[in-house]
Structure 1
Amino acid sequence: MQGLYDITHDDVTEYGHTINTLKRFNLYPEVIFAFFYRIFKGITDAVNINTQTCWKINRGSNLPPIESCEGIGNPHYFYVDNVFASAGTVAGSIFVMGVLMSDSIFGGFLALAAFAFNHGEATRVQWTPPLRESWAFPFIIAQIAFVTYIIRNKKSGLSWAIGMAVLSIFAKLYWQFSQFAFFTQLGSIFVLHAFDFSSLSTIKTLLLGHFISFCTSFVLLFGNEMLFTSFYFPSICSFALALLIYPLLNKITFRPVFVLINLTLFVAGSFGLKFVISNTLQVHDDAHILDILRAKFLGVHNFHTRLYTCSAEFNFIPKETLWKLTQSLLLPSAGAAVLIFAIYFIFYSEKSSVLWRSTENKGRHFADVRNFEEELSHIHNIYMMLQIFYNVVQLICYCSITYLIMRLKLFGTPHLCIATAILANNKLLNIILKDRLNKWAHIGLIGLLIAAMAHHGRENIKKQYNIIGEYSNPDQEALFDWINKSTKPGKL
């Protein structure tokens, strides 16, 4: 409790000010695992279990000797081990997503293999464990899997909204950028709504989940202004407004006009409300993001953008990364998968279903119809592909932000792996090939694809295993020693 008080009343980090670092820097992982470490250490000490091994290291005449320890009982090891344990759940979420996208366990294996072969381009946890995204992304991908399951099975109700909200809350508490990821998710779900590809009850459940998670996170982050003034909260409001006036918009039967009006309402509402809130409260904590984009495209720099863009992580994604993803066959496989779904979507539904909305079932989304294949044959099997449609839109959003800021490839690369699972969807391929693809032949082709991916993938995994290092920075240590010896403790 004393530690929690100290970080919420911090007068050391920012000279001349007392700040709430829990609110400012999303330090919830440290608080939560410090709490568990106290319990773990108390129990192991009480029963006399040795959880660490320590020894002294003599570092010569220039640096003093130090004690070095390893083992989970050491606070640093306890912290890092839990980061890696959390990051390890990403593989499980990707496997589940692969199964949901392909309706086959082989799709799960394909997505998982693609992730393993491209792990170095999918995360930075192995380089810098304390990064906020190292803690938050496992919850983001788990939440996406949960949302995909809701969409795939047309679930609705408060319990589903709460389950989705719990995963979203952890992501927001752990990383301030999570709200932008969820903004793109709301946009992807809204596209699903605008095309009438999901029931109103399911859409409302998803929106309710986002609203619950926003309110809870806002309170737990002590009224974080950046969360309130970001695009996330305005997009929730715009989505709610679109659902409120849905009975009026539903009278439009010409689909392109219906989609255009809905998307215009969502985009204009999100940007407009964000502008009003930010200027009314005079809070522009996320202005640096727009400044970075302005610097990238228009060359208009300020002090902060120069600090950001001098780092490779904030530049455009390099060609070298794209080449690596191509060599491992991830980009070609994901591209082929999206192309196959686009062909299915454009050419294997009747023109009337694309241009005109149903008049007989006005007021009801397509997924509300019980005997779907019989009553709406012009959307042949689309209800089985809702989760693919959502994830393809989500993939486009993630690839866009990955291209703009290389650091965010942790969104783009895993979703490319998930997209490859579409290739294992036997039902989808047989609609296009008119039932000419034998199931076992298809499984054989998936096996051959994984084997082809393994050619460069094994080299990538080997490189990951060969990374062995130890943190050492004598110059920085000397600087800290000088500060401790040459300056007075406490406030000046």
Structure 2
Amino acid sequence: MELRKRVKLRKLQHTLGRSQDAAAAGRCSSNIWGAGRSNASQRGTGEGYLLGGSGACSGLEILPWWPWRQCVSMAAGLLLAGLLALAQAWCVNAIHENLLWFSQLTEVEREISFRTECGLYYSYYKQMLQAPSIQEGLSDLIHDNLTESKRTINLLQRMNIYQEVFLSVLYRLLPIQSYLEPVYFYIYTVFSLQAVYVIALYLTAWLLSGSWLAGTLTGVWYILNRVDTTRVEFTISLRENWSMPFLALQVTAITCYLRPQLTDLQQKVMVWLMYVTTFCFCLTWQFNQFILLVQALIIYSLDCLDFLTTTQVTTLYLVQVSSLLSVWLLQFCNSMILGSLVLSFIVAALFIRHCQSGLKTGSPLVRLGRLLLHSAMVLLLTVTINYLAKKALHLRSDEHIFKFIKSKFALGPTRDFDASLYLCEEAFGLLPFDTLERLAGTLLLYPYILTLLVLSGTLAVAALHNLRLKANEL
């Protein structure tokens, strides 16, 4: 009798164990298909609707070979990223050599090859190298009386030349003077940044698509369309060649930060990466404020349509503000940064959003009306803050930029010399029609148009979904 009870008890335990295993497998499967939905519900409805997530279970007994397959795939993707980056760096270096026969030129001829303002930027790098010490070189840049006639100016405040300062200090400290000339160290650094640019584009495409094949296409298309993506091979010292790689890295960090499966530690790491890359981008290019303004407008639009959470929006705004203020300090309190439109816009957007707590409530039509009123108030406050800031700081150094934009879009003629000089440059002219032919020739234009239309439609559907969902919740 006791033996029968023991046998029944063992059968019952065996049955319960199998049911628990099946339930665990079911939970694992549901986690795989529903992790994106559950994570998105914690972060925001709109984000969950746009960003599908993929979960992962700890069931190594079910698919013991999956981690190895994942590691091999990731290693292959990273290897391809490195190869494409090296290909881009080698390509621009070879084109630069073929254009100028740079290796056969004398030192003076190499310096002459830096045309227009490129030669000016390189001269500061050379000046720092020829200074008796780093301290004296910095002092000469801070009290410069050679750049402008009969005036002593602070070059570190007036121009974005910290990259030349950093590179000259690095060349002094590294034991490479015996086999690498200063000019080669300079151009190789810029070409290496182009490799970083390709890696950043590759990683962004990989993060957005979930496949390194998309990253490979991005890198290949960037290299094939070199004529329309970069002019680094003949304008090495231009500020854009230093800053754009950091902008691409910033976009990669933002893309990773907005993923719904990040832990708190990963989010903090991404925030610091966003700050560092944004800071480097702002420090190396004087036109950084206009790029950041476009980003701030996009963040504002996503916030209005409920695609981002309040925490994410505030974090992205504060990253931009902290980066600009850090550059403001390094550039000896450059007033042009405080008078930038992007700072005025961020202050206005945060203030109006704080005052309007019920912005995202009500029916779709009521909410749309509130959003339009909210946007008008933000725009009006932005213009007011920017006007008052420029009046208080007596800021007029960026007027030629707005005059150029005004003349560029046929909003009125201009007789300003700087604006007219920009208009004469081919790079600031209208996009020539043969650009579309070149893009179509590399099989980029038509997939781009198709993808843009599909994603635009998806975005519109998601926006309407968010508006209706909020109304139904109320």
Task: State the TM-score, normalized to the length of structure 1.
Answer: 0.64
5+ long unaligned stretches in structure 1: 52-72, 363-492
Question: Are 1:13 and 2:123 matched, yes or no?
Answer: no
SS in structure 1 of the partner of residue 158 of structure 2: helix
In structure 1, the residue matched to 2:376 is 264
Q: Map residues 393-408 of structure 1 onto 2, 5 A cutoff.
A: none
Deviation at 1:236, TM superposition (A): 1.9
In structure 1, the residue matched to 2:222 is 115
Please give the alpha-carbon distance, in whole angstroms, between the structure 1 residues aligned to 2:463 and 2:189.
51
In structure 2, the residue matched to 1:454 is none
Please give the alpha-carbon distance, in whole angstroms, between the structure 2 residues aligned to 1:221 and 1:148.
29
Deviation at 1:210, TM superposition (A): 1.4
In terms of Rg, which structure is larger? 2
Deviations 1:346-370, CA, capped at 9 Å, x for gaps: 45x595x3543515767xxxxxxxx
Query: Given the alignment, which residue of 411, 430, 437 partners 1:323?
Result: 437
Deviations 1:131-151, CA, capped at 9 Å, x for gaps: 011111110111011111112
Q: Map residues 27-42 of structure 1 onto 2, 5 A cutoff.
A: 27-40=161-174
Deviations 1:466-486, CA, capped at 9 Å, x for gaps: xxxxxxxxxxxxxxxxxxxxx
Q: 1:158 to 1:279 in 2, by over 3 A?
A: farther
Q: Which amino acid aligns with 1:278?
A: K
Q: Map residues 210-289 of structure 1 onto 2, 5 A cutoff.
A: 210-254=320-364, 255-289=367-401
Q: Which amino acid aligns with 1:291?
A: K
In structure 2, the residue matched to 1:94 is 201
The answer on whether the counterparts of 1:9 and 1:20 sit within 8 Å (CA) in structure 2 is yes
Q: 1:263 to 1:326 in 2, by over 3 A?
A: farther
Q: 1:344 to 1:236 in 2, by over 3 A?
A: closer
The answer on whether the counterparts of 2:256 and 2:270 sit within 8 Å (CA) in structure 1 is no
Higher helix share: 2
Please give the alpha-carbon distance, in whole angstroms, between the structure 2 residues aligned to 1:306 and 1:100.
42
Deviations 1:273-319, CA, capped at 9 Å, x for gaps: 22221123221222112211222304512133322212212222222
Q: Which amino acid aligns with 1:197?
A: F
Query: Given the alignment, which residue of 120, 126, 146 partners 2:253?
Result: 146
Deviations 1:394-452, CA, capped at 9 Å, x for gaps: xxxxxxxxxxxxxxxxxxxxxxxxxxxxxxxxxxxxxxxxxxxxxxxxxxxxxxxxxxx
Question: Are 1:200 and 2:310 matched, yes or no?
Answer: yes
SS in structure 2 of the partner of residue 322 of structure 1: helix
Deviations 1:85-121, CA, capped at 9 Å, x for gaps: 1121011011111112212222212222221211221
The answer on whether the counterparts of 2:407 and 2:413 sit within 8 Å (CA) in structure 1 is yes
Identity of aligned residues (%): 27
Query: Given the alignment, which residue of 294, 301, 305 partners 2:414?
Result: 301
The answer on whether the counterparts of 1:253 and 1:357 sit within 8 Å (CA) in structure 2 is no
Query: Given the alignment, which residue of 449, 462, 470 partners 1:335?
Result: 449
The answer on whether the counterparts of 2:363 and 2:471 sit within 8 Å (CA) in structure 1 is yes
Please give the alpha-carbon distance, in whole angstroms, between the structure 2 residues aligned to 1:252 and 1:276.
35
Q: Which amino acid aligns with 2:211?
A: S
Deviation at 1:164, TM superposition (A): 0.9
Please give the alpha-carbon distance, in whole angstroms, between the structure 1 residues aligned to 2:286 and 2:259.
29
Q: Which amino acid aligns with 1:256?
A: L
The answer on whether the counterparts of 2:305 and 2:466 sit within 8 Å (CA) in structure 1 is no
CA root-mean-square deviation? 2.2
SS in structure 2 of the partner of residue 124 of structure 1: coil
Please give the alpha-carbon distance, in whole angstroms, between the structure 1 residues aligned to 2:332 and 2:363.
46
Query: Given the alignment, which residue of 225, 229, 232 partners 1:125?
Result: 232
In structure 2, the residue matched to 1:478 is none
The answer on whether the counterparts of 2:305 and 2:467 sit within 8 Å (CA) in structure 1 is no
Deviations 1:238-266, CA, capped at 9 Å, x for gaps: 23214423523234443422432343333
Deviations 1:170-191, CA, capped at 9 Å, x for gaps: 1111111112111111111111
Question: Are 1:103 and 2:217 matched, yes or no?
Answer: no
SS in structure 1 of the partner of residue 235 of structure 2: coil
Q: 1:269 to 1:145 in 2, by over 3 A?
A: farther
Task: State the TM-score, normalized to the length of structure 2.
Answer: 0.66
